[in-house]
Amino acid sequence: MNMKMSALFAGLCLLFLSTGCYTTQEGNKKVGVPFSPDKIEGRYERKPAEVFAAAKKVLAYMGTLTGENTIASTLQAKVDNNTVWVKVDEVEPGISRVITQSRGKGGAGKVGLASEVDKQIALQLQAE
């Protein structure tokens, strides 16, 4: 009996430790896997407005654009049942930083999708 209770307690502890919260690019907290890699950063020699427009085109092409915050320079989209956030800011004059974050339906990080979105943004900027 004592062994079964210990195993049940250990299983519950493992369950609680594997779930938690993560922060989106907009600053919101969501339930999901906290230590799962989900972000990639890119830097481009373009103005933030140009990069933001390119990111908007890419997200609309790859999926469905679900949110746009022009004050915080963030975009949110659904791509293949995954949520993708893109944040654009200026690091130095003429150099923009793009942070792309992607999470799956269960809250697990999808760094591969974030990398693909970042690559498509770079290709869109080259085409312009």
Return the structure tokens found at 110.
């999808």
65 φ, ψ to 5°? Answer: -70, 120
Please tell me the class of the 21-127 domain. alpha beta
* pLDDT tens over the chain, length 128 residues: 577 666 666 655 555 554 567 667 776 676 777 777 889 999 999 999 999 999 999 999 999 999 999 999 999 999 999 999 999 999 999 999 999 999 998 888 889 999 999 999 999 999 87
- Residue 31: C-alpha distances to residues 13, 19, 56, 68, 120 (Å): 17, 7, 26, 21, 28
Instruction: Decide: 34 and 18 in contact? Cβ < 8 Å.
Output: no
Domain boundaries of the chain, sorted by first residue: 21-127
Question: Helices 111-127 and 48-62 meet at what angle, rounded to 10?
Answer: 120
